[in-house]
Amino acid sequence: MASSSSTSEGTWSCPFKGFHCCISGVCGSKGISRMISHLKSVHLSTDERKNVLREAITTDYNLFRELEVTLKVFDQWMCGKCMKLHALSRACHHPDGLVRFSEGMRDGSGNIVGILMPPTNELPAKVNGGLVFDVELLDRVFKTPINTVKSIPHNCRYAFNQALKTTLYRVVAKPGSVDEWVKLLLFPRCTLQVFKPRNRQESRSGNRKNLQSRSILNALATWGDEGGITSLVESVLNSSGVGFLGHEGSDKQEEKSKAIRSVNSNSDLSYTMHII
């Protein structure tokens, strides 16, 4: 189906593109009257066509959402019982009573009255190891002890903004997808980890700032790659508090070894003095 989106010329793509010889799906640039006239005369002109579309709307999540957006843009609502379009202020007359559009329905699937939104039929995305992007995975990631930067470096903000917009667009395109919502919530935690220096040279102020920016940019680039989100999530789950770029370097390990030897030496000295 065509995506319901406006253009600079004011045209709007018909949500029923592909049905009833509606090939291009573009209804021209004459605004509301042209689109509504097109829907009524081409797609909702006979009972047979109405029945076909009712069945399609009931079972096709994407079609339901595209029609919903179109109706909201043109301030119309559809009666699922008779498949007629009405202005928001108008009721639909039936022998057994009136069907009205309620303002409170705007937040849900209210512009299509009488037809429930179909399920997405989308399986959660698999992660290596048999995990899925669900609430349980979200809880595991947020329980992992890692730190994120308090302020995004200036040279990383554009890339972060672009990656965030892409992630948000996926949520907007599939608002019923738990998978996309979980990815959105994981996004900052997976891409803004604090860089931990691995040796003395990396600990210097200037080097640390550059490496922090590089770490974030690498994570953002990985997020945009196919399978990159999976690798970032696995990195967080396996980090156990270690920095995003890896384990501690040899210099730091040597410092720890010296400290341990010093403690042991002092302990031995204290014990010897106690004996004396």
Would the CA dihedral through 134, 2, 159, 229 be positive or negative? positive
Q: Give the pLDDT confidence of 38-87 residue by residue, as tens digits.
A: 888 889 999 999 998 988 898 888 888 888 888 888 889 999 889 999 99
**Amino acid 78: pLDDT:** 92
This prediction has a pTM of 0.44
Mean pLDDT for 208-227 is 86
- Residue 274 has φ and ψ, to the nearest 5°, of -65, -40
Q: Are 71 and 40 in contact (CB under 8 A)?
A: no
User: Over pLDDT 70: what percentage of the chain?
Assistant: 71
Residue 27 CB partners (closer than 8 Å, separation 6+): 11, 12, 14, 34, 35, 38
| Number of continuous H segments (helices) and E segments (strands) in the chain | 10, 7
Q: Give the pLDDT confidence of 163-212 residue by residue, as tens digits.
A: 898 888 888 877 778 888 999 999 999 999 888 888 888 778 778 888 88
CA 53 to chain centre: 29
Distance CA 194, CA 238 (A): 15
Lowest mean pLDDT among 30-34, 77-81, 115-119, 225-229: 30-34
- For tokens 């003095």, the residue is 273
Of 20, 13, 15, which is closest to residue 48 (Cα–Cα)? 20
What are the sequence ranges of the domains in the chain? 32-113, 126-245
